[in-house]
Amino acid sequence: MFYGLNSQWVIENYGVPPDTEVEDLPGDLLAGHDAQLQAGIDYLLKQIEANPKTIPSSPPLLPAYPPAGE
């Protein structure tokens, strides 16, 4: 058992508080809708839209084998 200086648990029985609160309703889960997954996807799509990335250019093509004698 790990207690802090104020006699509270310091490791066990406390998780990480979420950045975004999402309510999971049992009916939605039974219908196959995962609200947490959808909230995560929506968040990532907004981040991608706000910070678009480009595909880097291809490197120059190299021969499959080095020239003879190397």
The domain in which residue 25 lies consists of: 19-51
- Give the residue with greater pLDDT, 67 vs 17: 17
Residue 28 lies in a domain: yes
Residue 67 lies in a domain: no
Number of structural domains found in the chain: 1
Residue 45 lies in a domain: yes
Residue 13 lies in a domain: no
- DSSP of 1-70, one letter per residue? --B-TTSSBSSTT--PPPSS--PPPHHHHHTT--HHHHHHHHHHHHHHHHS---PPPPPPP--SSPPTT-
Which residues, 6 or more positions from 28, have their beta carbon under 8 angstroms from its beta carbon? 34, 35
Segment 13-29, tens digit of pLDDT: 667 788 899 998 999 98
Mean pLDDT of 35-39: 94
Residue 1 lies in a domain: no
